[in-house]
Amino acid sequence: PGATAPGSGAAAFAADADQPARCSRRVDVPADFISAVMTATVLRTLAEVSGTEVELDPPSVVVLHGAPAQVARGEKTLLRAMKQCLWGASQAKVLHLLKPHSALGDAQASSFRVRLAPMSTLPPFDVTLGSAKRTITIGKDAENDVVVADQMVSRRHCIVDLDVGRGGVYAADLSTNGTFLNGRQLPNKTGGKVVLMHGDELLLKSPQQGNTEFGYIVNIQRL
Local confidence band at 190 (pLDDT 50, 70, 90 cut-offs) = confident
**pLDDT for the residue numbered 164:** 87
Q: pLDDT-based confidence at 109, cuts 50/70/90?
A: low
Q: What is the mean pLDDT of residues 9-34?
A: 73
In contact, 181 and 209? CB cutoff 8 Å: no
Beta bridge partners of 203: 180, 215
Alpha helices by DSSP H, listed for the chain, are 8-18, 34-37, 40-50, 68-84, 91-98
**What is residue 103's DSSP assignment?**
G
Q: How far apart are CA 50 and CA 130, in angstroms?
A: 28
pLDDT above 70 (res 5): no
Query: What is the distance between the terminal CA atoms of the chain, rounded to a whole angstrom?
Result: 75
pLDDT band of 3, cuts 50, 70, 90 = very low
Where residue 31 falls (left for φ over 0; alpha for ψ -120 to 50; beta otherwise) is: alpha
Confidence of residue 18 (pLDDT cuts 50, 70, 90): low
Longest dimension (CA), the chain: 92
Provide mean pLDDT across the span 148-153.
Answer: 96
pLDDT at residue 10 tops 80 = no
Q: What is the pLDDT of residue 7?
A: 39
Q: Which amino acid is at 185?
A: Q
Give the residue-averaged pLDDT of 135-162: 97
- What is the predicted pLDDT for the residue at 216? 98
Q: pLDDT category, 15, cuts 50, 70, 90?
A: very low
Distance CA 178, CA 215 (A): 12
User: What rounded mean pLDDT belongs to the chain?
Assistant: 89
Q: What percent of the chain has pLDDT over 90?
A: 81
- Residue 9 to residues 4, 5, 20, Cα–Cα distance (Å): 7, 8, 19
Q: Convert the pLDDT of each residue in 57-107 to its tens digit.
A: 999 999 999 999 999 999 999 999 999 999 999 999 999 999 886 443 554
Q: Name the least confident of 1-15, 151-165, 181-195.
A: 1-15
What average pLDDT does this structure show over 120-127? Answer: 95
